[in-house]
Amino acid sequence: MSTKVIAWIVVVIVVVGGIWYFWSKSMQAAPSVPAAPATSQEATGTTAQSGASSLSSGTSDNNLNADLAQMDAQMQSANSDSASVNQSFNDQPVQQTE
């Protein structure tokens, strides 16, 4: 086969793969929105938090301030991790011995 034929085969495969990719993405069902609970967590006096990334569902100033403090702590943690990664990329010269 000539290189021209091989190039056309590769182009056709890439185009068909792209069409299949976009078609499969459009056919995926959108995630459903969970139903609202029957009773408000704030009204019952309990707050269920499942980890560090969950935020309170209230809208009072105290709840918003607590959410902001939690987000600030997470951002500081991410910044610290980023600084550690950046430091690991700093290449130090190594003394060569013969």
For the chain, which residues make up each domain, given as ranges? 59-86
Q: What token pair was written down for 92?
A: 């130090």
Provide the pLDDT confidence category of residue 16 given band limits of 50, 70 and 90: very high
Residue 31 clears pLDDT 60, i.e. is over it: no
Alpha helices per DSSP H over 1-98? 3-27, 41-44, 61-89
Kindly state the average pLDDT of the residues 13-31: 82
Provide the pLDDT confidence category of residue 17 given band limits of 50, 70 and 90: very high
Higher pLDDT, 43 or 13: 13
Q: What is the pTM of this model?
A: 0.32
Provide the pLDDT confidence category of residue 56 given band limits of 50, 70 and 90: low
Q: What token pair was written down for 1?
A: 């086969």
Q: What token pair was written down for 8?
A: 């056309």
